[in-house]
Structure 1
Amino acid sequence: MRPELNQSTAICDWVTLLHDAARTGGLGLRSTHAPSRVRWQLRIGRSIRGAPVLGGETLYLASIEGTLYAVDVTVGRASWIFQGSGRAHSTPSICGPKVLFGCDDGKVYAIDHASGKKLWAASTQGEVWTSLVTRNGVGYFGCADTNFYAVDLETGTVQWKTPLGGKIYSTAYVAETQLYVGCGDGRLYSLDRANGRVLWSAQTGEAIDSSPAVAGDRVVVGSEDFYVYALDARTGAVRWKHATGLGIASSPAVSHGVAVVGSKDGYLYAIDIQSGELYWRVQAGEVVTAPPVFGQEVVCVQAAGLVAFEITTGKMVWKAGLGGAVQSAPVLSGNLIYLSSQDGEVYALE
């Protein structure tokens, strides 16, 4: 059975890594044609390592210098700039009136989305490369100090923190009662959302930098041991694993029973979430580390631009080159694509 996706060209907020808390990768938010021109281009820093996020008509993204930018997408100019105290590799998150992002000096900031003023800052003992995920007034994130944190979104007060077995560069998935997060010790952990207690952990062969996604009773995640795993969401039992040619830092996008994930072997893999059956495998570039996103096609970042593939077959539909090296996932909204490059450029393509 081939995967099928419902299509839409709706304009929609893109509030966190892979669009939303469900890691759907922006399912159906892109029309069929390839981008034909650059609507605007803006240089905001020396380098950008995280992905942009979109709230209304404002794009938020952080430069390597630790500067958070709010860019008015109607004109391609910065509305405000906030300077953090350390370098930044993280993708921001939007939660109501707050923009949240972490820095390498261990601070996590909450910034007012309209004014750019700091509302609070929470401190850790290691760099924060992960994105905050939020639910019911609480923000959750992992840190390179090996702790996983829950903070009150109104005050920034740490509600609890749980030590895990290694540095954490995986953005967590938040479910109703559980959290799922990968760790540098090669384990995927399930934590109780209320108090941080470890419910179970499942061992892989190498570090997990990929961010997990949940679909039904399966947790899907990639590992640096070359495998994509599907684990039982309740128990952590391995339901299947699928080999790729190299390690996996890309996070899976999931929807309609399909997980699409990139590998450092340069290939994209589309896999049935329940059975582990491979629908297709296609080469997207030399290395794929950014998460793919779902439009009417699967849109994937490759070294110098974007490439789109049919979701049903993996056949390449279009390619769009850019001047700079691209590492982070794009944002799809209506007929526009927003993305950033490692040389500090932000693009709006149409």
Structure 2
Amino acid sequence: MGGPERSVPGVDTGTTPERADVEQTLTRRGVLRAVTGGAAAVGVVNAAGKTVAAAEGNAPPEVWPMTGGSPSKTGQRGDVTGPKGRHPSLRWSARVTERVLTAPAVVGRTVYTGDRNGIVHAHSAADGEELWRRGVGDWVDASPAVVDGSLFVGTRGGEAVSLSAADGEERWRTTVDGWIRSPLTVADGVVYLGTTAGLVVALDAADGTVQWRFRAGDWVRSSPAVAGDLVVAGSYDGTLYAVDSETGAEEWAFETGSPIHGSAAVAGETAFVGSDDGTVSAVELAGGEERWRASIDGSIRSSPATDGATVYVGSDVGTVHAFAASDGTERWTFKADHWIRTSPVVSDGTVFGATAGGSVFALDAADGRPVWVHATGDRIHASLALAEGAVYVGGLDAFVYAIETAEDDGDVGEPVPVEAEPDGGSEAAPLTLVGTLTGFFSDEKTLTELEFTISALGVVYQMLGS
């Protein structure tokens, strides 16, 4: 069991006195676009991840301010739209300096990512133009959060860094024990993160002051989920911890029996979490009791998503599973081309995901039938973001992609029907499409477009040679 470690004056709260100079590139046009989001004013996002200031007429820009879409980490937002058509196309791709293992944040029509050169990038969501870049000193594997005009990110060197979302100017820097690989969460003026030293840490979003530390039994790579006065985070020790958001005091601990890599998704009074042994657990927030448990083949290295009625989770054997949120009944299973370590996201009845084979896909949330697939240039380990009709994702080819679909794109044919099993589940739905898809692959700074007809997802990768 863990326990809180309160902050000590003068410890881990200041700016690192000596560090290498950081790189910043900012164009005059970039300043204008970062501040205005193009032709419109930036929508201000509060600590709960909700837009509170208007943009472009009366319509505020859609926001995906952190991994999972919000502090609850459900992977869905009712005010955000993903691609709705059936023909995927590349809106843009942007080359960064190294591999991307962070999920994008999208705020004010700007897409924010970090890479393994320790560079944070801001790109226009409309066309991918780089608005600014800022070096933070070490690998950025912890996905950024953008709230109230500030961007928060963590590094391999154990530094939590706050930058101006408008121009990348550094605001504060705080050092904690361990490598920060946990995507950052911001709620009610507090930044929550996990470290490889087994800590969950709460920082004041205004100045980086350590509010409290909670010590788990092993690495905390999952992004802390916030539900009311609870912060919920999983650890490699196989325990899902719930701590008081004000003090860091442990409220309960739920043993899954296997390491927890991903975040818990919190909906209503329940936290949903996956573990390395392929178990999905539904845990009551009030007391930490198990509601139900389901098992799948393969381990779970990603975070579940939920729309409140269904829980969606991917596995490292390349399957996506849908379970009833109420009792864990399996509703359907989809088989992809490669293992999945990205967390699914949900919008308007569609589940979006990505694989280590480099494909981004869309599934019908009702039955798991494939809607479309889009090939990128390399493996994808980072999770997705949604905003204003596009999916945003970074890859190990050092590109950030924006993928959209045509609004009126006709019919690409019907996928193979999913045969239901007697127990209410379903066989894995093969990705079988009839029609023409457009895919892309990257080679250094060249992006090549291919058009091809497929009958199964595996054929795409044979044809692309990956």
Same fold (TM over 0.5): yes
Cα distance in structure 2, aligned partners of 1:195 and 1:19:
24
Which residue is equivalent to 1:50? Answer: none
Cα distance in structure 2, aligned partners of 1:331 and 1:127:
25
Cα distance in structure 1, aligned partners of 2:137 and 2:65:
26
Alpha-carbon distance change, 73 to 57 in structure 1, aligned in 2, over 3 angstroms: farther
Query: Is the contact made by 1:81 and 1:116 (CA closer than 8 Å) also made in structure 2?
Result: yes
From 334, 338, 341, give the equivalent of 1:320. 334
Query: Is the contact made by 2:82 and 2:348 (CA closer than 8 Å) also made in structure 1?
Result: no
Query: Is the contact made by 1:253 and 1:260 (CA closer than 8 Å) also made in structure 2?
Result: yes
From 136, 152, 155, give the equivalent of 1:124. 136
SS state at 2:140 partner: coil
Cα distance in structure 2, aligned partners of 1:55 and 1:308:
21
The answer to whether 1:348 aligns with 2:374 is no
Which residue is equivalent to 1:339? Answer: 353
Pairwise mapping of residues 254-293 of structure 1 onto structure 2 (< 5 A)? 254-293=266-305
Q: CA shift at 1:26, angstroms? A: 2.0
* 1:81-139 alpha-carbon deviations (Å, 9 max, x no partner): 11001111111110112100010010010001112111111112211112211111001
The answer to whether 1:91 aligns with 2:103 is yes
Amino acid at match of 2:282: A
Cα distance in structure 2, aligned partners of 1:329 and 1:145:
25
Cα distance in structure 1, aligned partners of 2:235 and 2:290:
17
Q: CA shift at 1:19, angstroms? A: 2.6
Pairwise mapping of residues 156-167 of structure 1 onto structure 2 (< 5 A)? 156-167=168-179
Which residue is equivalent to 1:67? Answer: none
Identify which range, 233-242 or 12-21, moves more after superposition.
12-21
Which residue is equivalent to 1:64? Answer: none
Aligned length: 301
Cα distance in structure 1, aligned partners of 2:303 and 2:363:
19
Query: Relative CO higher for 1 or 2, CA cutoff 8 Å, sep ≥ 6?
Result: 1
Alpha-carbon distance change, 170 to 119 in structure 1, aligned in 2, over 3 angstroms: same
From 306, 313, 324, give the equivalent of 1:300. 313
Cα distance in structure 2, aligned partners of 1:284 and 1:126:
36
SS state at 1:184 partner: coil
* 1:237-261 alpha-carbon deviations (Å, 9 max, x no partner): 1111011121111100002111001
The answer to whether 1:24 aligns with 2:36 is no
Pairwise mapping of residues 112-261 of structure 1 onto structure 2 (< 5 A)? 112-261=124-273
Query: Is the contact made by 1:301 and 1:329 (CA closer than 8 Å) also made in structure 2?
Result: yes
Q: CA shift at 1:336, angstroms? A: 2.2
Alpha-carbon distance change, 294 to 13 in structure 1, aligned in 2, over 3 angstroms: farther
Runs of 4+ deviating beyond 6 Å: none
Cα distance in structure 1, aligned partners of 2:64 and 2:203:
26
Q: CA shift at 1:74, angstroms? A: 5.7
Alpha-carbon distance change, 159 to 73 in structure 1, aligned in 2, over 3 angstroms: farther
Q: CA shift at 1:300, angstroms? A: 1.0
Pairwise mapping of residues 93-112 of structure 1 onto structure 2 (< 5 A)? 93-112=105-124
Query: Is the contact made by 1:14 and 1:331 (CA closer than 8 Å) also made in structure 2?
Result: no
Cα distance in structure 2, aligned partners of 1:285 and 1:76:
30
Query: Is the contact made by 2:66 and 2:184 (CA closer than 8 Å) also made in structure 1?
Result: no
Amino acid at match of 1:318: W
Amino acid at match of 1:248: I
Cα distance in structure 2, aligned partners of 1:241 and 1:150:
31
Cα distance in structure 2, aligned partners of 1:24 and 1:82:
27
From 309, 312, 316, give the equivalent of 2:323. 309
Cα distance in structure 2, aligned partners of 1:13 and 1:201:
29
Cα distance in structure 1, aligned partners of 2:355 and 2:193:
27
Query: Is the contact made by 1:21 and 1:133 (CA closer than 8 Å) also made in structure 2?
Result: no
Identify which range, 119-128 or 158-167, moves more after superposition.
119-128
SS state at 1:308 partner: strand
Query: Is the contact made by 2:74 and 2:267 (CA closer than 8 Å) also made in structure 1?
Result: yes
Cα distance in structure 2, aligned partners of 1:284 and 1:292:
13
**Structure with a larger share of its residues in strand:** 1
Cα distance in structure 2, aligned partners of 1:208 and 1:57:
30
Cα distance in structure 2, aligned partners of 1:200 and 1:16:
22
Q: CA shift at 1:73, angstroms? A: 5.9
Q: Which runs of 5+ in 2 are unaligned?
A: 1-61, 365-466
SS state at 2:163 partner: strand
Cα distance in structure 1, aligned partners of 2:99 and 2:85:
24
SS state at 1:348 partner: strand
* 1:161-187 alpha-carbon deviations (Å, 9 max, x no partner): 100001000012111221111111111
Amino acid at match of 1:332: V
Query: Is the contact made by 2:244 and 2:250 (CA closer than 8 Å) also made in structure 1?
Result: yes
SS state at 1:132 partner: strand
Q: CA shift at 1:284, angstroms? A: 2.6
Cα distance in structure 1, aligned partners of 2:338 and 2:85:
20
